Structure 1
Amino acid sequence: MKNDLTVFEQLESEVRSYCRSFPTIFTKAQGHKMWDVDGKEYLDFFSGAGALNYGHNDPNMKKKLIEYITDDGITHSLDMASTAKKDFLTKLNDVILKPRNLDYKVMFPGPTGTNTVESALKLARKVTGRTEVISFTNGFHGMTIGALSVTGNSFKRKGAGIPLHNTVTMPYDNYIDQTSDSLDYLERYLEDGGSGVEIPAAVILETVQGEGGLNTASPEWLKKLDSICKRWGIFLIIDDVQAGVGRTGTFFSFEPAGIKPDVVCLSKSIGGYGLPFAITLIKPEHDAWAPGEHNGTFRGNNMAFVTATEALNYWDDPNFEKSIQEKAEKITDFLEGLVKKYPEMDGYRKGRGIMQGISSNVEGFSEKVAALAFEQGLIMETAGADDEVFKLFPPINIDEDALQKGFEIIEEAVRSVAKENDLVTS
Structure 2
Amino acid sequence: MSTITDKPAIAMDVFELFESKVRSYSRSFPTVFKKAKNYKLWDINDKEYIDFFAGAGALNYGHNNEKMKKLLISYLEEDAITHSLDMATVARGEFLKKFNEIILKPRNLDYKVMFPGPTGTNTVESALKIARKVTGRNTVISFTNGFHGMTIGSLSVTGNASKRDGAGIPLNNTVFMPFDNYVDNTNSIDYIKAFLENSSSGVDLPAAMILETVQGEGGINAASYEWLRSIEKICREFDILLIIDDVQAGCGRTGTFFSFEPAEITPDIVCLSKSVSGYGLPMALTLIKSEYDIWEPGEHNGTFRGNNMAFIAAAEALNYWETNKFSQEITQKAEMVSSFLDYIVHEYPELNAEKRGRGLMQGAACERAETSEIICEEAFKRGLLMETSGPKGEVFKFLPPLIIDKEGLEKGFQIVEDSIKAALKN
Residue 112 of structure 2 contacts residue 293 of structure 2 at CA under 8 Å; is this kept in 1? Answer: yes
Structure-2 residue corresponding to 1:401: 407
Superposition deviation, residue 3 in structure 1: 5.7
Residue 270 of structure 2 contacts residue 286 of structure 2 at CA under 8 Å; is this kept in 1? Answer: yes
Structure-1 residue corresponding to 2:3: none
Letter of the 1:85 partner, please give it. Answer: R
Structure-1 residue corresponding to 2:5: none
Q: Does 1:115 align with 2:125?
A: no
Structure-2 residue corresponding to 1:141: 148
Give matches, 1:21-36, under 5 Å: 21-36=28-43
- 2-side partners of 1:79 and 1:230: how far apart? 33
Structure-1 residue corresponding to 2:186: 180
Q: Does 1:11 align with 2:25?
A: no
Which of residues 350, 363, 370 is equivalent to 2:356? 350
Q: Does 1:164 align with 2:171?
A: yes
Structure-2 residue corresponding to 1:197: 203
Question: Helix, strand or coil: the match of 2:22?
Answer: coil
Of all paired residues, the percent bearing the same amino acid is 63
Q: Does 1:101 align with 2:111?
A: no
Superposition deviation, residue 85 in structure 1: 0.5
Structure-2 residue corresponding to 1:269: 275
Instruction: Spell out, residue by residue over 1:10-54, the C-alpha distance to the aligned partner (whole angstroms, 9 max, x if none).
Output: 110000000000000000000000000000000011000000001
Letter of the 1:167 partner, please give it. Answer: T
Instruction: Spell out, residue by residue over 1:192-217, the C-alpha distance to the aligned partner (whole angstroms, 9 max, x if none).
Output: 01100000000000000000000110
Q: Does 1:44 align with 2:51?
A: yes
TM-score computed with the length of structure 2 as normaliser: 0.98
Question: Helix, strand or coil: the match of 2:131?
Answer: helix
Structure-2 residue corresponding to 1:424: none
Residue 369 of structure 2 contacts residue 395 of structure 2 at CA under 8 Å; is this kept in 1? Answer: no
Superposition deviation, residue 103 in structure 1: 1.1
Structure-2 residue corresponding to 1:383: 389
Residue 34 of structure 1 contacts residue 41 of structure 1 at CA under 8 Å; is this kept in 2? Answer: yes
Residue 386 of structure 2 contacts residue 397 of structure 2 at CA under 8 Å; is this kept in 1? Answer: yes
Specify every segment of 5 or more residues in structure 1 that has no aligned partner in the other structure, as ranges: 422-426
Letter of the 1:73 partner, please give it. Answer: A
TM-score computed with the length of structure 1 as normaliser: 0.98
- 1-side partners of 2:28 and 2:14: how far apart? 17
Letter of the 2:104 partner, please give it. Answer: L
Structure-2 residue corresponding to 1:214: 220
Structure-1 residue corresponding to 2:61: 54
Residue 369 of structure 2 contacts residue 393 of structure 2 at CA under 8 Å; is this kept in 1? Answer: no
Residue 116 of structure 1 contacts residue 266 of structure 1 at CA under 8 Å; is this kept in 2? Answer: yes
Residue 363 of structure 2 contacts residue 397 of structure 2 at CA under 8 Å; is this kept in 1? Answer: yes
Structure-2 residue corresponding to 1:150: 157
Letter of the 1:362 partner, please give it. Answer: R
Structure-2 residue corresponding to 1:415: 421
Structure-1 residue corresponding to 2:255: 249
Question: Helix, strand or coil: the match of 2:364?
Answer: strand
Letter of the 1:360 partner, please give it. Answer: C
Letter of the 2:132 partner, please give it. Answer: R
Question: Helix, strand or coil: the match of 1:357?
Answer: strand
Instruction: Spell out, residue by residue over 1:161-186, the C-alpha distance to the aligned partner (whole angstroms, 9 max, x if none).
Output: 00000000000000011x21101111
Instruction: Spell out, residue by residue over 1:84-135, the C-alpha distance to the aligned partner (whole angstroms, 9 max, x if none).
Output: 0111001111111111111110000000000000000000000000000000
* Mean Cα deviation higher: 393-402 or 3-12: 3-12
- 2-side partners of 1:3 and 1:307: how far apart? 30
The size of the alignment, in residue pairs, is 419
Superposition deviation, residue 327 in structure 1: 0.4
Residue 47 of structure 1 contacts residue 394 of structure 1 at CA under 8 Å; is this kept in 2? Answer: yes
Question: Helix, strand or coil: the match of 1:364?
Answer: helix
Which of residues 238, 247, 251 is equivalent to 1:232? 238
Question: Helix, strand or coil: the match of 2:127?
Answer: helix
Superposition deviation, residue 317 in structure 1: 2.9
Superposition deviation, residue 416 in structure 1: 1.8
Give matches, 1:85-100, under 5 Å: 85-100=92-107
Superposition deviation, residue 309 in structure 1: 0.2
Would the alpha carbon gap of residues 2 and 68 (structure 1) be closer, same or farther in structure 2, given more than 3 Å must change?
closer
Q: CA RMSD in A?
A: 0.7
Residue 51 of structure 2 contacts residue 385 of structure 2 at CA under 8 Å; is this kept in 1? Answer: yes
Letter of the 1:394 partner, please give it. Answer: P
Would the alpha carbon gap of residues 363 and 115 (structure 1) be closer, same or farther in structure 2, given more than 3 Å must change?
closer
Question: Helix, strand or coil: the match of 2:42?
Answer: strand
- 1-side partners of 2:327 and 2:196: how far apart? 38
Which of residues 307, 310, 325 is equivalent to 2:313? 307
Instruction: Spell out, residue by residue over 1:317-346, the C-alpha distance to the aligned partner (whole angstroms, 9 max, x if none).
Output: 321110000000110000011000000111
